[in-house]
């Protein structure tokens, strides 16, 4: 399981789209979560769907697939498969519910609390979560407090996104990556063995 996180875009939909495409197509995360509370990610998804001719739903895909199977040429088949891949990508984009300002994700059996502003968290939220990912911050940051880990990729203007994933050893690994591709931090933070932090300049 890989979950990508994008900090608040402050209306910069162009950079947000670049970050979203990076997480979904290059980093190949299973979910990409926007940590802002504004409508920027909704604008990005609508624009992506409009420019790529994304399929509306599974019924739409099956209908077009039947047409292509009967009368389509190879390019029509390739176009249908590209649209289907785009639909899968868009379905993986999430945002924090505006009504609550926070959400819960699971990586294996570990609870990840995702929140715009960590000041919104109450004692129960913190008690139930092993990892807290938050968006409102002037810069990327990670810190362990007791058994819990707090992490933010910082604002999108910092040019970075975050990825949480489970590796093959059962660790939860946190990576901060530039949207241009290179790693900034790569750190096993929670798992069944102890590992040292690795930092890539």
Whose tokens are 């798992």? That residue is 191
Q: What is the pLDDT of residue 189?
A: 78
Residue 45 φ then ψ, to 5°: -65, -45
Backbone angles phi, psi at 119, to 5 degrees: -65, -15
pLDDT at residue 187, as a whole number: 86
Residue 148 confidence (pLDDT) above 50: yes
DSSP helix/strand/coil, 46: helix
Residue 153: CB atoms within 10 A of its CB come to 31
What is the reported pLDDT for 197?
36
Nearest partner of 141 among 153, 131, 149, 132, judged by Cα: 153
DSSP assignment of 107-149 equals ETTEEEEEES-GGG--HHHHHH-SEEEE---SS-EEEEETTEE
Q: Is the model's pLDDT at 144 over the cut of 60?
A: yes
The pLDDT tens digits for 95-134 are 888 777 889 988 878 899 999 999 999 999 888 899 999 9
The residue extents of the domains of the chain are: 2-39+93-199, 52-90
Helix axes 13-21, 40-52, angle to 10 degrees: 60
The confidence band for 77, taking pLDDT boundaries of 50, 70 and 90, is low
3-state SS, 59-103, equals HHHHHHHHHHHHHCCHHHHHHHHHHHHHHHHHHCEEECCCCCCEE
Percent of the chain beyond pLDDT 70? Answer: 73
- C-alpha to C-alpha distance for 81 and 83, rounded to whole angstroms: 5
Report residue 162's pLDDT band, with 50, 70 and 90 as the boundaries: very high
CA distances from 68 to 60, 63, 72, 97 (A): 12, 9, 4, 38
Give the fold, CATH level 3, of 2-39+93-199.
Purple Acid Phosphatase; chain A, domain 2 (3.60.21)
Angle, in degrees to the nearest 10, between helices 74-91 and 58-71: 170
């Amino acid at each position: 399981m890989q979950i990508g996180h994008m900090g608040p875009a402050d209306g910069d939909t162009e950079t947000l789209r670049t970050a979203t495409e990076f997480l979904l197509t290059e980093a190949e995360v299973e979910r990409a979560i926007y940590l802002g509370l504004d409508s920027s990610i909704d604008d990005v998804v609508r624009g992506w769907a409009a420019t790529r001719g994304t399929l509306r739903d599974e019924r739409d895909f099956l209908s077009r697939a039947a047409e292509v199977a009967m009368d389509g040429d190879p390019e029509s088949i390739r176009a249908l498969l590209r649209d289907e891949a785009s639909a899968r990508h868009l379905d993986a984009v999430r945002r924090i519910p505006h009504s609550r300002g926070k959400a819960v994700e699971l990586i294996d059996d570990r609870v990840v609390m995702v929140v715009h502003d960590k000041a919104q968290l109450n004692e129960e939220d913190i008690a139930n979560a092993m990892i807290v990912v938050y968006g409102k911050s002037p810069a990327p940051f990670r810190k362990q407090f007791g058994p819990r880990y707090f992490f933010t990729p910082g604002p999108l203007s910092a040019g970075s996104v975050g990825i949480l994933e489970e590796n093959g050893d059962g660790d939860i690994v946190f990576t901060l990556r530039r949207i241009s591709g290179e790693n900034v931090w790569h750190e096993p933070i929670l798992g069944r063995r102890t590992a040292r932090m690795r930092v890539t300049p």
